[in-house]
Amino acid sequence: MKKLTLSLFAFLFLVLVAAPSLTAQEKYTLQKGYAPGKYDRVTEIIDETINLKTKETRTQYVTVDAAEKNADGTQKVTAEFTRTSSKTITTMQGMEIEMEYDSASPDASKSPMKDNGMIVGLKITTVYDKDGNPTKSEGAQEFFKKLIDDRKYTKEVVDIAMERLKDESGQITAGSTDKFFDMAQVSMPKTPVAVGETWKTENTWEMPMPMQGGRITTTVESKLEEIKTENGRKIAVITSKMTGQPEEQKTVASGAVPEMKITKMGIRADSVASVDLESGMLLKSTTEADMETEMEMGAGDAGNMKIKSSIKVKTTVTLTPKKS
């Protein structure tokens, strides 16, 4: 009887000790990255402005040369923005107005949409540490300085573009060519997470032209929804909820356009992203966003006119790596 009692006690003790390890969920390290090799990344971005009945499809082409990771986990990546094209369809009073642009076209420099190709030719080399954080990045300063020196763009316009390209580290990196077009960036946690866990991040970005309304601070709450396997590769599905407010009000004036001052702004966005677990490369993201603004237009109290707008946008980003 003593033997039975002792064995039962030992069994219960082992169950209690082992229980946490049996129930603990596996944690995953999520970070942005690049699969080693030379390849083209073709990214299709579809923006649908629901209440303005506008649909824009943009395709950007980036050539990537990503080295194998070193023994210490560092990786050198060179990315060059080689081409961009876009097609915009606006429905007004039952009619469709269509506009197209392709930086590879011989007439691209004469197009009224030529600013869409502003960063074609931008080549950035970045060194990332073992956690995927950029430690050194080169190429952007020289590129944008030449745009100003050649009088292709004013310093004010170039400064806004550079601000929009900066990542969380304050640098323009190999991954910045994606950020130029996609407001809702995928935010990664600083520590490993299990399925169902959440994390928060804050980002700032410059409002796109022609608004030029200053910097926006956004708070993003993300969650690892699931880990799934597709075509033999593990994919992390990450959902995010973003809210944002402007850091400061800013006055916008341009030639004959009346002076405008943004007095209120609110942004909300819900996103779902698929990320390759091994390389950290974004494969697809879908975002639904609302933006509400209030502006004052005109000079002097008597001439001020208040304008309110509410814009609903749906954005789908699909990235396809192709071997060079």
In the chain (324 residues long), the average pLDDT of successive 10-residue segments reads: 52 52 74 86 81 83 92 94 91 86 90 86 94 91 93 87 81 76 69 95 63 69 95 92 72 51 77 89 84 68 64 76 64
Q: How, if at all, do strands 123-128 and 134-138 pair?
A: antiparallel
Distance CA 51, CA 55 (A): 11
pTM for the full predicted model: 0.72
Q: Which residue has the tokens 């509400």?
A: 292
What is the per-residue pLDDT across 123-155, written as a single tens digit (0 to 9) for each?
Answer: 999 999 988 889 999 999 999 999 999 988 889
Same-domain check for residues 59 and 128: yes
Same-domain check for residues 177 and 41: yes
Same-domain check for residues 164 and 49: yes
Provide the terminal-to-terminal Cα distance of the chain, rounded to the nearest Å. Answer: 74
> What pLDDT is attached to residue 22?
47
Same-domain check for residues 212 and 315: yes
Closest alpha carbon to 292 in 273, 260, 321, 268:
268
Domain contains 13: no
Distance CA 203, CA 219 (A): 7
Ranges of beta strands (E only) in the chain are 27-28, 37-49, 54-66, 75-92, 95-102, 123-128, 134-138, 193-194, 198-206, 215-230, 233-246, 251-254, 257-276, 282-297, 305-323
Same-domain check for residues 143 and 41: yes
Token representation of residue 220:
């993003």
- What is the number of structural domains in the chain? 2
Residue 170 half-sphere exposure toward CB, CA atoms < 13 A: 0
> What pLDDT is attached to residue 258?
55
> What pLDDT is attached to residue 10?
57
User: Residue 217 belongs to what domain range?
Assistant: 186-324
Domain contains 289: yes
Boundary of a domain, candidates 134, 160, 181: 181
> What pLDDT is attached to residue 138?
95
Boundary of a domain, candidates 133, 149, 181: 181
